[in-house]
Structure 1
Amino acid sequence: MASSMICSETQTRVSSVLNRDVKQYGKKFMFDCNEETCWSSDQGEYQWVSLDFPQSVKLSELKVQFQGGFSAKTCRLQGCLKDGDVTVISHFYPEDDNSLQSFPIQEAPAVDKVKIMFENSADFFGRIIVYSLDVLGEKAV
């Protein structure tokens, strides 16, 4: 059964943080299960979140909750094994609203690292706001 692949050993990076204010809008807030906190990117094209897992995983689902008006219209999930070539795993197209959205991932290869590219922001300045992000799957054997 699929479970969250994000753990305390998962290394996370983001493209930017609004006004570099990590205390108020940092990446950790995507994973704290608090509805009041969020990661807020700065403006610019192609915001992203990168997850580096402690071991290889096979992904089956991506869950994300944006703030309406600050969502991505197009998203691309990329992944790779350690020192491997980056490949596109899937594309998904979120709704521009506040709901928790779920995107199944079909036939994903085993990966050690994923990058979620948020393209075509609904915000005129390219900002993305994420309240919750989770990646479900299982450890690769």
Structure 2
Amino acid sequence: MSSLTPLISKCKVSSVLNRDAKSFGKAHLFDASLETCWNSDQGSPQYILVEFAQPVKINSVLIQFQGGFVGKDIELIDAIKAAKICNLYADDNNKLQSFDVPQEEAVIGRSRIKILFNQSTDFYGRIVIYSLDFVGSTA
């Protein structure tokens, strides 16, 4: 198993703070820099939609939030089937968090994944993510 980031062909996010994609856009999710981040605008829900160049089997999702701007009630969704894979339960902190995908779901090849943040620990519904990665293998 390894990082699936090199296989990402497209990424879409629900919003960007003040529409400032240069400072807070989706590209910062995968740039491996702890000095840049994706910062959503206010409002719930927020989401990240990722498309892979080929089907992948996802074993875990790694997310580093900014404390105080953490997603709550998070769903990992197969975007093609519009079916929930599992819930992710994040702690309100700055640490890199790992979320395991249930074994019965980790063996299924998928090419489009949506992470849905139904709520945020921020009063205004903003989400801030410094790092996002998927760990698994090609299907």
TM-score (norm 1): 0.92
Of residues 63, 74, 96, the one that matches 2:92 is 96
Q: Deviations over 1:20-75 (max 9, x none)?
A: 00010001111111111000000011100000001111110000000000001221
Q: Does 1:54 align with 2:53?
A: yes
In structure 2, how many angstroms separate the alpha carbons of the residues matched to 1:125 and 1:12? 24
Aligned residue for 2:42? 43
1:1-141 alignment runs, 5 A limit: 2-7=1-6, 9-80=8-79, 84-106=80-102, 107-108=104-105, 109-140=108-139
Structure 1's unaligned 5+ residue stretches are none
Q: Secondary structure at the match of 1:7?
A: helix
TM-score normalised by the chain length of structure 2: 0.94
Where structure 2 has 5 or more consecutive residues not aligned to the other structure, the ranges are none
State how many pairs are aligned. Answer: 136
In structure 2, C-alpha distance between the alignment counterparts of 1:136 and 1:125, rounded to whole Å: 31
- 2:23 counterpart SS class: helix
Query: What is the RMSD computed on CA atoms of the aligned residues?
Result: 1.1
* CA separation of 1:95 and 1:9: change in aligned 2, threshold 3 A: closer
